[in-house]
Structure 1
Amino acid sequence: MTTESTARDWTRWLRNVALALIVPVAGLALWQTGSGAAEQAVVIPAPAVDLTAADGTQTAVFAGGCFWGVQGVFQHVKGVTKAVSGYAGGAADTAQYEMVGSGTTGHAESVQVTYDPKQVSYGQLLQVYFSVAHNPTQLNFQGPDQGTQYRSTIFVADDKQKSVAEAYIAQLDAAKVYPAEIVTTIEPLKGFYPAEQYHQDFLTLNPTYPYIAINDIPKVEALKALFPGIYSDKPVLVGQL
């Protein structure tokens, strides 16, 4: 058995254990009455402040729990040309799955989104991020995953991204679209490090895997239902780039 396959099996076992322990009591933490998932999508207004379209491709980095689901969501957004699972917030020499999983590296499981700003704006990506990709009111956890490596964070590349993100968080909190305040942090992007290959395209390659089926497939379905104008049936896969 290869090192990569061993890591993959270990990863899956850990996620299944977490799922088995937490899902039966998930109803205690639901953020929408009648929902079957702690990360239920929420209808939210578009950002009042956005970035104007620029020439060439742009990048954005988001963290919101396990990167499998976040990557899978953004891979279905029109205008996104690449979405890569990886690590941000820590040093290059600790950007490894086993080390990040300790919660001591400063890294968060993140997704780097490359997009065409003439097709989809930074603000629209933020709207998908806050509405569909994760629950921004959960502090240092998402669904069954616990730890600072699963925190809700927007890693901003410059002051323009920072201003739009800050304005949108203030707008959503003022609108009270969630039952609690947003805990998403805004951190400067000091580096993004792609995750191991076996983490890439995980949702698309493993749609019936229990963790994916329960936690992440509903996110893609919500994207299609809530954002039909920017939803793409065909995902942009890392393995095809």
Structure 2
Amino acid sequence: MARADGAVAIPKSKVDVGGVKGLQSAVFAGGCFWGMEAVFEQVKGVRSVTTGYAGGSRADATYDRVSTERTGHAESIRITYDPAQVSYATLLRIFFSVAHDPTELNRQTPDVGPSYRSAIFPQNEPQRRVAGAYIGQLNAAHAFAKPIATKIQTGTFYPAEAYHQDFARRNPSHPYIVRWDKPKVAAFRAAYPALAR
């Protein structure tokens, strides 16, 4: 159910990755990586966010190749986070509720194609288990008006070109950022004030 602040009100995950020490990584894909990066940079406990590509080969991990929609890559982000401050399940909740629309198949308005798909690339088996359980939980709760299109996939993450890194922070008045990404950041900050830095 959509909230007035633009977020979708969804329940917390019933399961989480536990018992991990030290910095961890999460890899998510959900449309243009600029907006995903902009949202997750706001989260307490997130140490860094890197834009990149996941799902294809190293040779095809360039913006020009990925834009052909024939590489198998999705525009993705790699989040480095401290699990003592923010859990994997919390990151998943932000991913599903404000960072993108998980019911869109191979698109995030206005971007269309498989490189803009909704996907989770678990970095270990506990992440895979928690992500799968949460998708099942959200579908069973009918948290969204349509079924979740997010896929759990495998693939190495490759960082994107330097000009894509920290794009929203470096280009706050870029028309794409103003229209599509600033509202996501505002929705995150309104929906999760205790998690915002």
| Distance in 2 separating the partners of 1:60 and 1:32 | 25
- AA aligned opposite 1:127: R
Residue equivalent to 1:88: 54
TM-score (structure 2 length as normaliser): 0.96
Query: 1:197 maps to which residue?
Result: 162
Distance 2:144 2:109 in 1: 16
1:41 shift after superposition: 2.4
Highest RCO, 1 vs 2 (Cα 8 Å, sep ≥ 6): 2
Separation of aligned partners in 2, 1:169 and 1:61: 16
Equivalent residues in 2 for 1:1-40, closer than 5 Å: 40=6
Q: Secondary structure at the match of 1:138?
A: coil
Aligned to 1:193, the other structure's residue is in SS state strand
User: 1:102-121 maps to which residues of 2 (within 5 A)?
Assistant: 102-121=68-87
> Separation in 2 of the partners of 1:53 and 1:117?
9
Structure whose CA Rg is larger? 1
CA distance in 2 between partners of 1:192 and 1:113 (Å)? 11
Give the alignment's Cα RMSD to 1 decimal: 1.6
- Alpha-carbon deviations, 1:123-149, whole Å to 9, x = none? 000000000100000000001000000
For residues 134 and 224 of structure 1, the distance between their equivalents in structure 2, rounded to whole angstroms, comes to 15
Structure-2 separation of matches of 1:33 and 1:210? 25
Corresponding residue of 1:239: none
Report how far residue 32 of structure 1 moved.
Answer: 5.7
Aligned to 2:128: 162
Matches within 5 A, 1:1-241: 40-188=6-154, 190-232=155-197
Identity %: 51
Compared with structure 1, are the counterparts of its residues 101 and 224 closer, same or farther at alpha carbon in structure 2 (3 Å cutoff)?
A: same
- Provide the secondary structure at the position in 2 that maps to 1:172: helix
Question: Would the aligned equivalents of 1:86 and 1:193 in 2 still touch at CA under 8 Å?
Answer: yes
Would you say the 8 A contact 1:86–1:195 is kept in 2?
A: yes
Q: SS of the residue aligned with 2:22?
A: coil
C-alpha deviation, 1:33, in angstroms: 10
TM-score calculated relative to the size of structure 1: 0.79
CA spacing shift, 1:162–1:115, aligned 2, 3 Å: same
CA 1:103 to 1:123, structure 2 compared with 1: closer, same or farther past 3 Å? same
From the two aligned structures, give the one with the greater helix fraction: 1
* Conservation of the 8 A alpha-carbon contact between 1:123 and 1:164: yes
Partners of 2:120 and 2:109 in 1: CA distance: 19
Change in Cα spacing, 1:165 to 1:203, as seen in structure 2 (3 Å) is same
Deviation readout 1:201-234 (Å, 9 max, x if unpaired): 11111122111111000111111111111111xx
User: What 5-or-longer segments of structure 2 have no aligned partner?
Assistant: none
Deviations 1:33-57 (A, max 9, x none): 999xxxx521111101111141110
Letter of the 1:69 counterpart: G
**Structure 1 portions without partners, runs of 5+:** 1-30, 233-241
